[in-house]
Chain A
Amino acid sequence: MSATTDHTVRGGARRIRTLLRVKRPGRLAAEAAALLIAVAVAFPLYWMVLSAFKPAGEIQSTDPRPWTLAPSLDSFRRVFEQQDFGRYFLNSLLVAGTVVILSALIAFLAATAVTRFRFKFRTTLLIMFLVAQMVPVEALTIPLFFLMRDFGQLNTLGSLILPHLAFSLPFAIWMLRGFVRAVPEALEEAAYIDGASRTRFLWQILFPLVFPGLVATSVFSFITTWNDFLFAKSFIISDTSQSTLPMALLVFFKPDENDWGGIMAASTVMTIPVLVFFVLVQRRLVSGLGGAVKD
């Protein structure tokens, strides 16, 4: 499917290009500009990885060079030795993974409810989901702190999972709506005529069809959860074994002199899973975004 999508995409872009009568010299200039911009945009990431591999002496050099002659794993070693970094990594993965999977399932059910059923308060609910997306969750840190405290959830991964799960839902529902709606109702009727139960239709027919949408949605919940800094900082206060990656990164900021090698190595380790995830779902993300936005 992605192959066909991609084909039409390319064809479409080419046709738009011809239509807009982009002249050859102009196009070459545009392409040169695009490549330059791509290099500039990628540079911070390059610098991060490069600095992570630079030996201590080169990192401290006041004459920084965009290459290294003696790549070293020292910074990574320091990162993994310090502060249970591997554990933080697993915690982050656990939190983000749980949020992604649960929010996908819950949002799928909710999106199905609001697209394939007519019921009282349906529109009200939809507006509520829309409004919920706009709530500045950062402002809720204080009440959530007390809520987590009252339920004995402070210093647990649950205090990170639960809020992120709730906050990722409205957007996920909103985005999945378009995908669920695109599945023809005739298909549902046919399934029932063939004797399928509603549950069977939901999980064995609708779910696989909507899966590309779930993937696109997951990117957003994964990123917001993986990015979380504020909640981790506010809710994981005494039990550092429950901490997540952003906290581990801060260890390398020191009042007198920052350990840049360590910071860059930790940043690299923290960025790579997201990059991998992005590359894996890149096509579906782009087409999913088109679908969700259009809707």
Chain B
Amino acid sequence: MTTHTPPLKAPAAAAAGAGTGTPAGRPPRRRRSASPRHHSGWTPWLYLLPALVLLAGLLVYPIYQLGLISFLEYTQAQVSGGEPTTFKGFDNYATLFNDSQFWQVLLATVLFAAACVVSTLVVGCAMAVLLTRIRALPRLALMMAALGAWATPAITGSTVWVFLFDPDFGPVNKVLGLGDFSWTYGRYSAFALVLLEVLWCSFPFVMVTVYAGIRAIPTEVLEAASLDGASQWRIWRTIMAPMLKPILIVVTIQSIIWDFKVFTQIYVMTNGGGIAGQNLVLNVYAYQKAFASSQYSLGSAIGVVMLVILLAVTLVYLRLVRRQGEEL
């Protein structure tokens, strides 16, 4: 590796975000019209083969199956082969859409995800800005604590937070003087508790990413602006915000996707969806339908609804990316 020191810097330069230009001496167009050798037939497909096989078998085919099952009558009887599977068309969807609980769960999922996304973004961005304003030592402390929260597996994070808020043995109630108030008993307090845990383990991603983005802004630009007498607000609004926009889009989309399909936290912290299912979200709802009551068709239909919602989000994202004229 030592013999290749100069090229080694290339990924580092890109990583540290050494400006918006391309690496030195290489015009941006060049890559597009690569040498003819690069057109050579099957080699790229050979390289892609393992990835494509895996994705086709474990992602594309299951998506097709999910859609198919959602149109069938598929319960324990069919799974064990006792009864033939029958095609039911949109019956499962009709059942689902006529069930008031489904709409309630869908609404809860959207609101809960929205609350998680907004709080994660606000806290994450605020922390990123804070990081740029402090010296190395406190920055290291905050960074390390955040990385710790980020690294914590969802399930252990969930158990610890439930324990922190335990009505009998937890420190939080004692410090806040809440007596034996049970957080998981009420619908909103239970959602709030899960939200706190989700915020705790997901703001670090936003913080680190946005911080990396702020760092990547060439200081010369900021210097020039400040020499020209631009106010801080103006620097933020006209230079930093536009340059951070791509990053903000990425973290927003990632957060939406991630928070929309929270499973472990809800499942563990509210013991499978809360008292009488008051804390169900779509994911847990689908799981309960499919695996707890063997209504695989209904579970699959819920899965399809989730898929459609997230694909819609993805399309919006793709449009945003393309509008920015980014080359794929």
A205 / chain B contacts, CB cutoff of 8 Å: 4
In the complex the two chains form, is A61's CB within 8 Å of B145's CB? no
In the complex the two chains form, is A270's CB within 8 Å of B169's CB? no
Q: Does A31 contact B (CB under 8 A)?
A: yes
Cα distance A67–B303 in the bound complex, in angstroms = 46
Nearest B-chain residue to A177, judged by Cβ: B328
B96 / chain A contacts, CB cutoff of 8 Å: none
In the complex the two chains form, is A271's CB within 8 Å of B153's CB? yes
Binds B, one of A70-78, A80-88, A114-122: A114-122
B17 / chain A contacts, CB cutoff of 8 Å: 290-291, 294
B98 / chain A contacts, CB cutoff of 8 Å: none
Interface size class of A (residues with CB under 8 A): 35 or more
**Best-surrounded residue of B50, B134, B136, B164 (most CB of chain A within 10 A):** B134
Shortest CB-to-CB span from A10 to chain B, Å, is 6
Nearest B-chain residue to A232, judged by Cβ: B155
Q: Does B323 contact A (CB under 8 A)?
A: no
Say which residue of B44, B138, B157, B208 sits within 8 Å of A114 (CB atoms): B44
Q: Does B274 contact A (CB under 8 A)?
A: no
Q: Does B1 contact A (CB under 8 A)?
A: yes
**Which B residues between 165 and 187 are near A, CB-CB below 8 angstroms?**
166, 168-171, 174
In the complex the two chains form, is B307's CB within 8 Å of A135's CB? yes
In the complex the two chains form, is A183's CB within 8 Å of B59's CB? no
Shortest CB-to-CB span from A51 to chain B, Å, is 7
Q: Does A274 contact B (CB under 8 A)?
A: yes
Binds A, one of B31-39, B99-107, B114-122: B31-39
In the complex the two chains form, is B168's CB within 8 Å of A62's CB? yes
In the complex the two chains form, is A117's CB within 8 Å of B145's CB? no
In the complex the two chains form, is A42's CB within 8 Å of B145's CB? yes
Q: Does B43 contact A (CB under 8 A)?
A: yes
| Mask: chain A, 122-138; 1 = CB below 8 Å from B; 0 = not | 11011100111111101
A to B contact number (C-beta, < 8 Å) = 388
A270 / chain B contacts, CB cutoff of 8 Å: 153, 155-156
Known: A142-B69, A227-B153. A38 touches B144 (CB 8 A): yes
> By DSSP majority rule, is chain A's interface helix, strand, loop, or mixed?
helix
Say which residue of B13, B40, B263, B306 sits within 8 Å of A230 (CB atoms): B263
In the complex the two chains form, is B247's CB within 8 Å of A293's CB? yes
| Mask: chain A, 192-223; 1 = CB below 8 Å from B; 0 = not | 10000010000001001110110000000001
A90 / chain B contacts, CB cutoff of 8 Å: none
Q: Does B238 contact A (CB under 8 A)?
A: no
A179 / chain B contacts, CB cutoff of 8 Å: 11, 14-15
| Mask: chain A, 21-38; 1 = CB below 8 Å from B; 0 = not | 110001100110111011
9 nearest A-B residue pairs (beta carbon):
A290-B212, A291-B15, A139-B303, A143-B65, A166-B58, A267-B156, A113-B47, A117-B44, A182-B14
B→A interface (CB under 8 Å): 1, 4, 7-17, 23, 26, 30-32, 34-35, 37-40, 43-45, 47-48, 50-52, 54-55, 57-59, 61-63, 65-66, 69, 79, 127, 130-136, 138-139, 141-157, 159-161, 163-164, 166, 168-171, 174, 200, 208-209, 211-217, 219, 222-223, 226, 232, 235, 246-247, 250, 253, 257, 260-261, 263-264, 267-268, 283, 286-287, 290-291, 296, 299-300, 302-304, 306-307, 310-311, 313-314, 317-318, 328
A→B interface (CB under 8 Å): 1, 4-5, 8-10, 12-13, 15-17, 19-22, 26-27, 30-31, 33-35, 37-39, 41-42, 44-45, 47-48, 51, 59-64, 66, 106-107, 109-110, 112-114, 116-119, 122-123, 125-127, 130-136, 138-147, 162-163, 165-167, 169-170, 173, 178-179, 181-187, 189, 192, 198, 205, 208-210, 212-213, 223, 226-227, 229-230, 234, 246, 249, 260, 263-264, 267-268, 270-271, 274-275, 277-279, 282, 285-291, 293-295
> What are 8 A-to-B residue pairs whose CB atoms are below 8 Å?
A38-B141, A138-B263, A178-B14, A178-B15, A230-B264, A267-B156, A267-B160, A278-B150
